[in-house]
Structure 1
C-alpha cells in the first residue's frame, strides 16, 4: 500500500512495479489484497453486523446484484497483437471536467458505518488522485465538511430529491456554495427497496440519526425540527423520524425537472436509467448526462443488470448526452468492458467502501490505485493506447 501522499504515476500501471519492487528489495507485501474481486470477503471479516447488513447485501434475494456481476462475466475481452501501446493515456473529459482517468467515486451513504472518518477519508483519497468525489445526500458528514476534506479536489453532489421543496433548494445552494460543480439526481430511490438483511435486524441507520448529517446541518431542516420537538438539536431518534417524513418522494415526475434548473446552474446528471425510453426522455428534458445504474442491486430484486442495459442506451443517446455507468464494477477489467460498451466514465461504489472499511483513507487510495493500474494494464495488454479507442468490437459476448 503506497503512502497517502504518493502522486499518481505517469502510467497508472507503475503501481504494479512499485509493489513488485517493494517485495523484491525490501521484503514488503501489500497491507491489503490487490485482488479487488476479493475485497468484499476481507471487509466482511472486519465490519460489524449492522454495517455488514447495510453495506454488502442487496434487495430481496440479491438476484440483481448477482446479475450485475454475471453480466460482466458474459463479456470477454478480445486482445489484439502487435499494436504499439508503449505510451498510454487514460485521461478523460467528463462534462467539462478534465480527469486523469474515466473513473469517479460514486455516491455511497452512511460511510461512517465502514470507518469513523467516513466520507472525509474518501474525499481526501479521491482528491489525492484527482478523481471526482460524489457526496451522497445520505452522508455521515455534512456537505461542507466533505468539501473541506476534498480541498482542491473535484467534487459532485448527489441529490435524493426531498419532498420538501424549500429543503431541496437549501441543499442545492449549500452544495454550490461549497464548490460542488455537478449535480447527480438519483431517480431509483424515491422509497427504500426490500432489504432483508436490514429488516431481519430491524436496523435502519437513518432512524437512529446516522447518515443524515446533511439534514441535521441544514437550516431549513433544523427549523422543521425545532417546530416538531421544540429544539433544533433534538435527539437522533426525533431527527430520524423527521428525515423519514421528508425523504420518500414517490410523486416525482419528469415534469418537475425544470425546478432543478431554476436552482442549479451547473451540469445535471440523472442516475438510475435502465432503458432506452427513459434515456431518450432525459435527453428531451435537457439533462447533461445519465448514469446507467440499478443502484448496485439495492432497490429491485430481479431487475435487469446494468451492463445488459448499457449497450442499447449508449447506442441510442451516446452521441447526444454523457453516458456514465455503475453497478457491478469491481475490477479494472470491468471498467474496460463498460467503456467498450459505450460508457464515457464509470462510477465506483462498494469496492472503495471496502477499502475504507479495511484501512480508512489509505484503503480507499489502495483500491483506486489498484483499479487504475489494472485498467491501464488491461488496455495495454489488449492492444490499446487509450480507452477512447475502445468499441464493442473489443469484446466477445458469450451465451
Structure 2
C-alpha cells in the first residue's frame, strides 16, 4: 500500500474503498487540516465493520475516523489524511488538548468490552462469542476486568502495515491508544491489543513481527510480549522445563535480545529477532534497556533521512542529549529524544548517525552458570 494525495491506494494504484463522512474538519470548514503528530488506535464497539462505517458516515454520530479496518483486514478510508477526523473527542496528550487536530485515527472493527458473563456466556447484542475468541483481562488502568474480544491476526497485520506507512509518510511522533489520551473516559483498544508491541513495530517501520498478543493476566500484573535481554549463555527449550529438548539455534549468547510472552512455572516463552523460538528460564532474563545514544555535538533533527529534509521543532539538539534509536536508514537514524530539548518534549525525527555515541548499559550477571 501507499499514500497518494493523502488517500490510501494499493501498490498497483487502485484506491482503497472510500466512504465520505460529514463528520470532519471544523464547523464552517469541513476541510480544516490536521497537524500530523500522533496516530491513535481505537476499536469500533460495533457489530461489524459495515455497521460502524454506516454509523460514522451518519451526521448524528458526531464521530468519524480516517480509517476503519475490518476483522478480515479490509480497509475503508473515510477522511483524507490531511484533514481532521472526529475520532479523539475530549482528549489530551503531552499538554495538547483535543487531539482531532493533531492526530490520525484508525478504528479496528471489534465488539469492545464484553462484561463479566464468563466462559460459555460471552455475547454482544445477543450474538454468542466463543471462549476461544475472548481474553479475560483487566484494563491497564485497573478497571474494568472481564472479557475482551481477540483481534484477528489478519486485522493486526494490516493495521501494522498501515501504521508503519503513516508514521513514515507523516513523520508521526508516536502511536497511542484512545484510552491513553482519554483515560477514564475511553477503554479502547483495550488489553487484548498489544499496544507496546504494536507501537514499537510501527515506529520501527513495521520490521518487527506482530503476533496475536498474549494479553496481561486478569490481575494486570505483567505485560505481554515484553522485550528482555539474556544475562548469560542460555538454552532455549521446546517446553517450559529443563527436561524438554533444546531447539535449533540454542543456546543463546549473553546479551541476546528476545520478546517474551507467556510465563509458566518460572519459564518464559521467548522469540529472538533471528527467529529462534521456545522456552527459557525466566531467572536468566532481564528487562532490556532501550537502544540509547548520546548526541556528540549540536545536531539538527529532521523530518526525514536526508540533509534536504527540514528540521523539526526542537532542532538542533544540544550536545549531550540522550535519544532512543527507533529505525535505521542508510547513514541516518530515526530517534526519539528522552525528556525535553530546547523546552520541547516528545521530539522525534532523523539525525545523522555518525554524530551519535552509544550510551552503554552493561549486561548484568555475565559469568553466571548457564541454565542446563
Q: Which one has the bigger strand percentage?
A: 2
**TM-score, normalized by the shorter chain, greater than 0.5:** no
Larger Rg: 2
TM-score between both structures, scaled by the size of structure 1? 0.22
Q: Which one has the bigger helix percentage?
A: 1
TM-score between both structures, scaled by the size of structure 2? 0.23
Question: Larger relative contact order (C-alpha < 8 A, sep ≥ 6)?
Answer: 1
